[in-house]
Amino acid sequence: MKKSLMLLVFLWFSSPIIANEIKINKQDYVKQLEGFWLGQSIANWTGLITEMDKIGTPETLPFYTDEDWGKPDQKAFWGEYVPHASIIDFYFERRGTPWGADDDTDIEYMYLHLHKLHKTPKLTASEIRDGWLSHTYSDIDAPLFKKFSDSKPQKENFLWVSNERARTLMEQGMLPPQTSQPENNPHYNMIDAQLTTELFGLMAPGNIALALEIAELPISISASREAAAIANYYIAMHSLASVVDKSRTIKQHVFSIAEQATSVLPKNSFPFKMYKFIKQHYEQNPDKSDWESTRDAVYKRYQLQVNDGYHYKEPYDAGINFAASLISLFYGKGDIVETIRIGSLVGWDSDNPTATWGGLLGFMLGKQGIKDAFNKQDISSTYWIHRTRRNFPDYTPNQLGEDSFELMAERTIKVIDVILSQSSASQFWKIQY
C-alpha cells in the first residue's frame, strides 16, 4: 500500500475534455476512503434524527431553523420518534460499538462486495439482480425488527419506495434497466439511486465517463430520467473530488466540482435549472449564514408551485431532495460539521442528502480529518452490515460488527485496480507502480 499509482486520465469538465495527469498515493487514498465511509455514517445517523420531520405540509410546518439545533427532536410525519436519539444533534458511535448499516451505506457496500466477488470493472444485470436477491430481504423472509423498546416486533427488509419495487420486479425475473422504467416502476423518480451509487465516483478517480459507465446499471435498478441524472451528478462530484488542487481551500474545491459536475445534467432538465436557481439565490443572499431563506424559496418554488418542469409528488422525490442537498452544500461552504448540521435541519428526507455530503467531505478530509473537525478521537470505525443486509463474510470475527472502514477501503483499492486495468476505458489510463 506504500507505492503510488500514476494515472493519465481524461477529466470531463463542462467543455472541452481536458487531459490531466494525477498522482494518487494508495495509502493516502485508503485513508480518504475510510473518511468516505465514516463521514457517510455520521451524517446518515445524524440526519435520521430529523428524517421526514418537516416536509412542507400543514401538519409539519414550520420548518426547522438554526434555533432548533440542540433542542428535542419532533416526530416524523408518520407519527414516530427515532430510537437512537432524542435531541437534534450530531450522532456518534464510540470505539467498540459498530456503526449500523442503513440504506445510505449498505447498498454501496453490496456493490463493493459484488465487484470484488466477480473481479469485474462493470457488473452485469444478472450479477446485480442475483446480488440484490442474495443480500437483501424480501417482505416475506425479512427478520423481525423492534423499532422501539415498547413497540411490537415487525418484519422489516429496510427497502422502501423504488428500491422496494425494484426488488419485487427482480424477484419476478426482471432485470435492470427494466426495473426502473416508468411502466414497471411508478417510483422511478424517487430519491433511491441518489444514495446507493456515490461510491462509483470514487472507484474512477478523476474520470467521470468511466464512473458513469460502471454506475449505469446500478442506477437503473431504481431510477430513470431526471432521478438518474441527479444520481449521475453526485457520482461526477465524487469522481472529481480526488482531483485536488492543493492551492485551493476545501470550499473552493467543493464549489468548483459542484459546477463542473453540472456537465452531466441535461441543460433543459429540472435538476440543472434547480442548481442554477439555488446557486444564484445563495450568491445573491447578503447573509451567507441565512440558509433558511433559500430553503423557504425552494419550498415555495418547487413544492407549492410548478417551476422548471418539476412537479412535486412526495417528500422523498429525487427533485426536492436534490434541491435540499444543494442548500446544505453551498451554505456549508466545505465545512463537514456545518454541512451536516444544515442538511439535518433543511427538511424532507434529511438523512439521504446529508449522508451524500458527509461521504464526499469525509473523503476529502480523510478519517483523521473528520475526527479533528468534530474534535472527537474515539469515533468508531467498525461496521455492522448485517443490521440491514445478509450473507456477507465476517471480516472482523473478534469484534462487534462484520467489517471495518479500513478493510472496506483496502478492498475498494483492489476493485479500482481491476476497474482501471480491465475496463473499456483503460486505453485512457496509464498505470505505473
pLDDT digits (tens, 9 = 90+) for 72-96: 999 999 999 999 999 999 999 999 9
Cα–Cα distance list, 419 to 118, 123, 202, 426, 431 (Å): 12, 11, 11, 8, 12
pLDDT in the model for residue 389:
98
pLDDT in the model for residue 21:
62
Place of cell 483499492: 413
Round the average pLDDT of the chain to a whole number and report it.
Answer: 92
SS3 312: coil
pLDDT in the model for residue 19:
39
- Number of neighbours of residue 31 by Cβ within 10 angstroms: 18
- Contacts of range 106-110, beta carbons closer than 8 Å, 24 or more positions apart: 106/158, 106/385, 106/388, 106/389, 107/163, 107/195, 107/196, 108/196, 108/197, 108/198, 108/199, 109/383, 109/385, 109/389, 109/392, 109/403, 109/408, 110/135, 110/136, 110/389
Average of pLDDT values for 24-50?
A: 96
For residue 3, pLDDT beyond 70: no
Going by the DSSP 8-state scheme, the letter that residue 94 receives in this structure is B
- Residue 379, beta-bridge partner list: 94
Average of pLDDT values for 285-297?
A: 98
Q: In the chain, what are the domain boundaries?
A: 25-428
Q: On the CB side of 109, how many CA atoms lie within 13 Å of its CA?
A: 31
| Stretch (H or E) spanning 240 | helix 225-241
pLDDT in the model for residue 369:
98
pLDDT in the model for residue 4:
38
SS3 329: helix
pLDDT in the model for residue 246:
79
Could you tell me the end-to-end alpha-carbon distance of the chain, in angstroms, rounded to an integer?
Answer: 11
Cα–Cα distance list, 245 to 30, 240, 373 (Å): 19, 11, 21
Whether the CB-CB separation of 246 and 240 falls below 8 Å is answered with: no
pLDDT in the model for residue 291:
98
Contacts of 387 (CB under 8 A, 6+ apart): 100, 101, 102
pLDDT digits (tens, 9 = 90+) for 154-204: 999 999 999 999 999 999 999 999 999 999 999 999 999 999 999 999 999
pLDDT in the model for residue 247:
87
* CATH of 25-428 given 3.40.718.10, 3.30.300.30, 1.10.4080.10, 3.30.930.10: 1.10.4080.10
DSSP string for 258-303:
HHHGGGGS-TTSHHHHHHHHHHHHHHH-S-TT-HHHHHHHHIIIII
- Number of neighbours of residue 381 by Cβ within 10 angstroms: 22
Going by the DSSP 8-state scheme, the letter that residue 197 receives in this structure is -
Q: On the CB side of 29, how many CA atoms lie within 13 Å of its CA?
A: 28
- Residue 11, beta-bridge partner list: 18
For residue 20, pLDDT beyond 80: no
* Cα–Cα distance, 121 to 111 (Å, whole number): 11
